[in-house]
Amino acid sequence: MKKRFYIPAIAVIGLFASCTNFLSEELKGDYTSSNYYTTPESATMAVTGIYNSLYGNTLWIFGDVASDDAVKGGNAGDQADINAINDFSAAADNGVLNVFWQSTYETVARANNAIKYIAPMNIDATMKSRLIGEAKYLRAYSYFNLINIFGKVPLKLEPQLTAATINVPLSETSAIYAQIEKDLTEAAAVLPASYPASDIGRITQGAAFGLLAKADLYQQKYTECLTNIQALENLHQYKLLSNYANLFKPGSEDSTEVIFGFRYANTAASSLGNNLNVWFSPPTEGGYYFNAPTQNYVDIFVQKTTDGKDDPRLDASIGRDGKPWFNNTTFSSSWSEATGYLVKKYDEDAKPGVTKSQSTVPYQSMRYADILLMKAEALNELGGAGAVGNAAVEVNKVRQRVNLAPDLTTTTQSDMRIVIQNERRKELGFEFHRFFDLMRWGQATAEAALGTDFKWTAPRFYFPIPQSEKDTNKALK
């Protein structure tokens, strides 16, 4: 989003209803659903408030730390709850699980409110449809993350106003995916392909098609995945950025490759910067040096470019000993006591008067490179005449951007599957995809990657639902 706003909490006024003389004028700053959703500005702020709820992004703990790409990092004794995610020993009282659950359901609640209360508003019909489409996308995005971390979860689709809407039982994953697809299909029908400069960063039609394709891929619905990717490509909005490293610099959220990204405020007075910068930066910069990349991740970059150099995605993604860092410094392995490596994608050169917590480096939730690799995977898994060759065409587009050659000559489906899996790991490293990829690729792949600490439980590994939800949601057994 271009800017960030805070929307006032929706509160029910009534505490002092019997005290008619308590105030001589109407209360200001408190709103009910009936008196807040009255103008186009308030509807827009309500939807902007959904975006704001994404600010505390902890998806990295699951996507990276729970995978073979990273370990907890930081001080050895710090953040034991993250370490429990890392070694799959997290119990229901784990603080990381609780924070992710509550923050994600906060996004769901804000989306539910917007969908419910904007629908009857007397405002421009096109604007109304678009705002509701944005809200539906963000609700679908939230449930997509919830279902891939916890499995069955309560499917809440209404404002939390009654016992029935608060105490909701677990839904089957098939029902949750059906709602995700419904929300995204309806969003794709009303969202624009692009926005004017004042609204760049809001959810687009392409983002809806992209997340639909991803939901299809996760369910092994390969034909539907390709259909939605084709719809995205038919918009002619996206192409790969020529320089991979430039994807992770301030302003890159406006590039032709980004389909959906998180934007952060750009003022020294704001505390709404990208806090991933604080979590991942070295101690020499005031960071906490968590999410430490593993040697296993580094070792997959074996192929050189056509001019004999390292794959540029390696040093764009992580800091390595003796390699250039930021502010004309050289990275030292001593900055990461866990592995000797740190994540580089969310760091940046320091600016006078700006702290780490005010970073404007975006988080790219979905890029066109991801779409190309999803397309390759769907083509390969469908099989048939020319499937492997067609998949190779899409993978080669990603490889050619970083000057890897020669083009792939893989001829079997099983070999191409491994190529695609490795290419996803290199291309999308530390963008919080790896653990979820391992889970959907199945038991053998997951156990081979995650080692003896990981115990597969059919149909796949899920983290436990937080105890706080079990205690408060009376519909849960």
pLDDT tens, residue by residue, 52-80: 999 889 999 999 999 999 999 999 989 99
Q: Tens of pLDDT along 21-45?
A: 333 344 445 556 667 898 999 999 9
The pTM of the full predicted model, rounded to 2 decimals, is 0.92
Among 134-148, 160-174, 240-254, name the one with the lowest average pLDDT. 240-254
Q: CATH 1.25.40.390 spans which residues of the chain?
A: 1-191, 217-263+362-453
Burial code (b: 16+ CB inside 10 Å, e: under 16) for 93-103 equals ebebbbebbeb
Percent of the chain at pLDDT above 90? 82
Fold of 217-263+362-453: 1.25.40
Q: Which numeric CATH code is attached to 1-191?
A: 1.25.40.390
CA-angle at 436, arms to 310 and 238, nearest 5°: 65
Closest listed residue to residue 90, CA positions, set 451, 472, 467: 467
pLDDT at 5: 32
Percent of the chain at pLDDT above 70? 92
DSSP code string of 220-277 = T-HHHHHHHHHHHHTT------S-GGGGGSTTGGGSTTEEEEE-----TT-S-S-THH
pLDDT at 18: 33
Distance in angstroms (rounded) separating the CA atoms of residues 67 and 433: 9
Q: Cis bond leading into 464, ω under 30°?
A: no
pLDDT band at 267 (very low <50, low <70, confident <90, very high): low
